[in-house]
Amino acid sequence: MMSVKCASFRSAVLTFACVAMAAGCAGDSGNRGIVRVTVDGVSVVSNPAQLGAAPTLELSDTILRDIGGLKENEADEFNHNISTLSGLALSDGGLAVIDQFRVHLFDSTGQQVAVVGRAGLGPNEFVGLEDICRMRGDTLIVFDQRRVSVLSPQGEIVRQSTVPDLSVTARGCFEDGTVVSQSFSRTEPDSVMISHAVRRRDDGSILDTLGMHPVLATRGIGQFMLHYAHGQFLYISDPRRNEVRRYRQDGSLDQIVRMADKPRTMDAKNAQRWLGGAAPMAGSGASAFASRSNKTVWPFYRAIKVDGTGRLWVRNFPEDDTAPDRWTVYDTSGALIGSLDIPRSPARAIANPRRGYPSTMPGQAPELIDTYGDFVILRERDSQGAAHFVTRRLLKIDQETLQ
């Protein structure tokens, strides 16, 4: 198996102070140290810590499907050199991939069934695809800088709209095809910025607002704050707090998923690498985060994803350059399912390294692209640097298929 560690889940008993409010407070204790309460209609789920615990999930050795790699005809290949090469699973087990100027569609067996797009600003053209999401019925939306394009399940571009003020969007989209744009303001020069979340139709017209939420700057700890629209909900992760909040489309808070991991001290080298330095950035809100301690601490998580079944995947920061890439997954109720470690490749030697700089480059773990049912789609690279989208089965550590 890809994960070489094998240990039972380490549970932790949590306590949750339940303060009675006007609407009352109901709670129940789940298994494995998971505590659930409901406060004024908001589900609050407290989960045990996972940092330092052995993984409880692993990936099969067998590759069930491999899409990509080098081809006889270079035009049939993905653009392997771009960081935005990504994709998502379709409801029938197929795969959609964006690679800068094109959208590729594959069926469940891995056969390519459609390719659409080319470089340009005209109809059926893209400048640089940045994100892709799925509506009901496998209708797709792709984001191309300030343009939004809708594709049919067959890969035909239904419409393209230019939205001048769609410069900052949440990742993903709602199942009805609406997207979230953000505008920013702050009350004081060094206060946390406020995001005004606006729900828009795919033609850019405003449908309604989803309220105001704190947001951080694009540098430092703020780059790991994420707004993620999926299904009927907007997920907001604040790396200063060990929780992810889920909002309904009317802007009301629906769920808070909390994790019991404690802050970790961050050394100067990692602070420079990940945050651009240990000192908080003015106006980023990081000063409020750092004020609890004189030490720089790690953000609580690096990224989040929501898969087609509504499971929340949280990406943690590695302990060091040799540690695996850890993802922790929670079900739709907010309860912990388990954690998955994706091993890194070996470190690579750097040709002609500069004096005083490292002579090796840390190995990279395959990128988790999407999951559906018991399957995980990873983006891996072969020895020639070509990208492959491979599908493996997700298993419990005791070799059982994940239920």
Tokens of 110: 């891995």
The Cα 290–Cα 215 span in angstroms is: 16
What CATH number is associated with residue 74?
2.120.10
Q: Is 44 part of any domain?
A: no
The Cα 198–Cα 183 span in angstroms is: 8
Task: Give the least confident one: 146-155, 220-229, 359-368.
Answer: 220-229
Q: Is 342 part of any domain?
A: no
pLDDT, average across residues 320-339: 93
The Cα 132–Cα 90 span in angstroms is: 12
For residue range 254-279, what is the model confidence (pLDDT) as tens digits? 999 999 988 888 888 888 878 776 54
The Cα 55–Cα 48 span in angstroms is: 13
Q: Is 45 part of any domain?
A: no
The Cα 27–Cα 104 span in angstroms is: 47
- Of 10-19, 26-35, 176-185, which has the strongest mean pLDDT? 176-185
Residue type at 100 in one-letter notation: Q
Helix, strand, coil % in the chain, rounded to nearest 5: 5, 40, 50
Note the pLDDT of residue 139. 94
pLDDT, average across residues 94-98: 96
Domains in the chain, number: 1
Q: Is 190 part of any domain?
A: yes
Tokens of 356: 């005083």
Q: Count other C-beta atoms under 10 Å from residue 158's C-beta.
A: 11
pLDDT, average across residues 375-396: 94
pTM: 0.83
> What's the mean per-residue pLDDT of the chain?
81
The Cα 245–Cα 374 span in angstroms is: 25
Let me know how long the chain is. Answer: 403
Tokens of 292: 């609890």
The Cα 283–Cα 80 span in angstroms is: 37
208-to-19, 204, 257 alpha-carbon distances in Å: 33, 12, 26
Q: Is 175 part of any domain?
A: yes
Note the pLDDT of residue 167. 56
Note the pLDDT of residue 166. 59
pLDDT, average across residues 56-82: 92
Q: Is 126 part of any domain?
A: yes
Sole residue written with tokens 């994940």: 402
Instruction: State the residue range of the domain holding 256.
Output: 65-319+365-396
Q: Is 332 part of any domain?
A: no
pLDDT score of 145 more than 50: yes
Note the pLDDT of residue 7. 28
Q: Is 402 part of any domain?
A: no
pLDDT, average across residues 123-128: 90
pLDDT, average across residues 184-201: 73
pLDDT, average across residues 319-344: 92
